[in-house]
Structure 1
């Protein structure tokens, strides 16, 4: 049994992570602002993680084997956490994102065309941190989501006081009505209605991960290994937007209608005009076994279709 703290963990794969850690017999503490109750048998601390004094007071004398931070979006939040949990936890795992590799949001090292990027493409040890940017402004944060994650990784990497790893999750699908991004529902609903899906003329591939697989990888990163540094989390197999619409069409019985956008114009979610895939080789070398996207995608599509058809309250 380990003592594990999950910051966030009130929805989607974070909630599933908490449930699975508890089922494994770990002593779990959830920290959030009270947006959702913790499952039975899980300690719940209601506190704003942005309020450092309140966070330290709520933690009291507690110590943990691992902290899993599901909701760290800025270097300011990371710095607060680094101070609050220094010498209080042996290990700190931050949920990060594939978006740290988005070349549209930062100047990144060049990799050969068509090559899934490795973790070293964004090295948090060398990434510049700017604490004085308006990270508390919601509009600014939304527009700089990827940079916020990069800088948060950088702060926690340099913090010391605990071993740190960032799990860079691919585009997460599955979960039906719990899939709060609504991006798969966008496709199922439009294709079922016969509406056009906007795509790039030369749509390039990306990577995905099922919400249950990401919860399992976070559980593994928290409990089963002592590696440090970033690790990419994506199922095996690249898909582009045409592969995705074909998977939806196979279950709706309607052929997708594609509408090509002009260069530079916005397209549908997961239609990319740049190669946007990452390598999962490091996680495999460390011992995690990934599924294939094509194995779970039909089930995720079916869940989304069922959720779309369900009556609303």
Structure 2
């Protein structure tokens, strides 16, 4: 049995993660602001992770084998968490994102077309950190989501005080109404209404992961392995915007309509005019077995159209 602290963990992926850890017999503590109760059978600490004094007070003298941070988005949050949990945990795992590889948001080394991006493409130890940017501004953070995650990873890599791992999740699908990003619902709504899906002229494929598979991987990362550094998490198989829309159309019994956008114009979610696919080879080499996107996509669409 391990003592595991999950920051966040009361909805969507976090809820599935907490349930898996609890059902496996681990002692789970969930830390959140109290707006949503965690699953039954776990400890619950109410604190704002952005309030250092409140978080320290809520933790009291507790110590953990692993902390899984589901809701760290900025280097400021990472630095505070590193201070609060220094000496309290033997390992720290942060949930990150494929957005760290977005070539439109950072000057990254070139990758040959069609080659899945390995973790080394963004090395946290070498990434510059700017703590004085307006990370507290929600609009700024929304526009700099990938950069916030990159810099948070960099801070933990240098300051965590314990072995640190970061799980870079692919685009998450599944969960029906619980899929809070609304991106799959975008397709369901537009196809159902006969509205056009906006796509790039040569839309490139990307990678996805089912929300329950991501919960499985995070539970595995916390309990069955001790890797450090970044790890990509994506199901096998690339998918482009037309293939995704076609799957939604099949679920609805309607043919999707498309309109090609001009260069520089915004398109529908998951339509990319740049290379945007990760390699999951490292996770496989460590023993995690991924499903194929084609296996779970029909079920995810069925939940979304129900």
Under TM normalisation by the shorter chain, which class is it?
Answer: over 0.9
Pairing 1:260–2:272 present: no
Aligned to 1:166: 166
Aligned to 1:101: 101
- Aligned mates of 1:242, 1:175 — CA distance in 2: 21
SS at match of 1:128: coil
Aligned to 1:23: 23
Task: Output one character per residue of 1:246-296: Cα deviation in whole Å (capped at 9) or x when no partner.
Answer: 111212111110000001100000000011100000000010000000000
- Aligned mates of 2:124, 2:232 — CA distance in 1: 14
Aligned to 2:295: 295
Task: Output one character per residue of 1:92-134: Cα deviation in whole Å (capped at 9) or x when no partner.
Answer: 0000000000011000011111111000000000000011111
Map 1:267-286 to 2 at 5 A. 267-286=267-286
Aligned to 1:115: 115
- Aligned mates of 1:52, 1:260 — CA distance in 2: 48
Aligned to 2:200: 200
Native 8 Å contact 1:5 1:64 kept in 2: yes
Pairing 1:6–2:6 present: yes
Aligned to 1:189: 189
Q: Could you tell which deviates more after superposition, 166-175 or 180-189? A: 180-189
- Aligned mates of 2:139, 2:194 — CA distance in 1: 33
Task: Output one character per residue of 1:66-97: Cα deviation in whole Å (capped at 9) or x when no partner.
Answer: 00000000000000000111111011000000
Pairing 1:77–2:77 present: yes
- Aligned mates of 2:113, 2:189 — CA distance in 1: 33
- Aligned mates of 2:98, 2:143 — CA distance in 1: 16
- Aligned mates of 2:160, 2:195 — CA distance in 1: 52
The list of structure 1 runs, each at least 4 consecutive aligned residues, that deviate by more than 3 angstroms after superposition, is none
Give the superposition deviation at 1:218: 0.3
Aligned to 2:40: 40
Give the superposition deviation at 1:19: 1.0
Native 8 Å contact 2:4 2:27 kept in 1: yes
SS at match of 2:91: strand
- Aligned mates of 2:230, 2:71 — CA distance in 1: 16
Stretches of structure 2 lacking an aligned partner (at least 5 in a row) = none
- Aligned mates of 2:63, 2:253 — CA distance in 1: 54
Pairing 1:86–2:83 present: no
Native 8 Å contact 1:10 1:35 kept in 2: no
- Aligned mates of 1:235, 1:254 — CA distance in 2: 27
- Aligned mates of 2:196, 2:138 — CA distance in 1: 32
Stretches of structure 1 lacking an aligned partner (at least 5 in a row) = 307-313
Aligned to 1:140: 140
Aligned to 2:68: 68
Aligned to 1:213: 213
Give the superposition deviation at 1:49: 0.7
- Aligned mates of 1:266, 1:126 — CA distance in 2: 32
Give the superposition deviation at 1:228: 0.2
The two structures have a TM-score, normalised by structure 1, of 0.97
SS at match of 2:126: coil
Aligned to 2:248: 248
SS at match of 1:294: helix
Native 8 Å contact 2:11 2:38 kept in 1: no
Give the superposition deviation at 1:160: 4.2
- Aligned mates of 2:291, 2:7 — CA distance in 1: 27
